[in-house]
Amino acid sequence: MISLDPAKARKHIDRIDRFRILVMGRANAGKTTILQRVCNTTDQPEIFNGEGEKVDATLVQGSLKRGEHNIEDELVFKSNRRFVFHDSRGFEAGSEGEFDMMKEFVMDRAKTMKLDKRIHAIWFCIPLNESHRMVTAAEKKFFDMCDTGHVPVIVLLTKTDALALDAFMELVDDGLNEVDAMERALEVEKRKLMECLIKVKGWLNKSRFPPHDYLSLTGMQEEGADCTTLLTCTANALNEGGLQQLLISTQQSNLGLCMEFAITK
């Protein structure tokens, strides 16, 4: 970690005034909810096309849910305009064309000389409410074929609340009454979450371009959920001090996060 030199931070912030993140993952992986929590809002984002022109959100929201929108679109929340998000198209549907379009976007935006257009991090969401297909062939294909260069990819295990019911039912099936099962469910849920994490790591670490890090997100369905762990993980994955400072600058109200990065390791 690095010390926050205000003068140096201002220099980088002036050069790149917004932190840009590509959010990936299949439809209904909880992507929009995470972005809302990071920006501390329940509002839907404003959407701008590649030329910076505002797009009619009512026309886009349905296609967002179906994974049919344009990856070039910029998603910006009024509550924190220092973030720009891109949401990958639903390439898990099996279309070679959509996969190639996503790959081209990643390659271009990871290396572009237009600093204000460069993506700084990738959050790859894998939901745990579909245990029968925790990691799909399309997701493995991304980590085998997409070299993101210096842009770190962080795998986020989402919808972990689905494990709570699994834990409870497992205990009931083992013969516990409902009261005792409720008391022990959290312990079993944590074990199941760790098992999922180990499985996902086992699959993806064998890839040609494995993720930089993994993080399980809990409680994201709760309004006002704390995203400090996610932001800290992202900041630590960045290989340029200026980008760390830029990311931290988006979180002026998060005193704990700012203090953590004000301490030199």
In this structure, is residue 174 part of a structural domain? no
pLDDT of residue 244: 75
In this structure, is residue 33 part of a structural domain? yes
Strands 121-127 and 19-24: parallel
Q: Which residues of 33-47 are buried (b: 16+ CB within 10 A; e: fewer)?
A: bbbbbbbbeeebbeb
User: Looking at the 3D structure of the chain, how many domains does it have?
Assistant: 1
CB 256 within 8 A of CB 23: no
Residue 60: HSE in the Cβ half-sphere, 13 Å Cα cutoff = 19
CB 48 within 8 A of CB 54: yes
In this structure, is residue 203 part of a structural domain? no
Rounded CA-CA distance 62/178 in Å is 40
Write down the mean pLDDT value for the chain: 80
Q: What is the CATH number of the domain that holds 58?
A: 3.40.50
Average pLDDT (87-116) is 80
Range of the domain at 81: 19-160+208-264
Summarised one tens digit per residue, pLDDT across range 131-180 is: 667 788 888 899 999 999 889 999 999 988 877 777 767 777 777 787 77
In this structure, is residue 14 part of a structural domain? no
- Specify the higher pLDDT residue, 242 or 21: 21
Summarised one tens digit per residue, pLDDT across range 190-207 is: 888 888 899 999 999 999
CA distances from 16 to 19, 83, 104, 120, 199 (A): 8, 11, 22, 11, 37
Name residue 193's amino acid: L
Summarised one tens digit per residue, pLDDT across range 218-235 is: 888 888 788 889 998 998
In this structure, is residue 96 part of a structural domain? yes
pTM of the model: 0.82
In this structure, is residue 152 part of a structural domain? yes
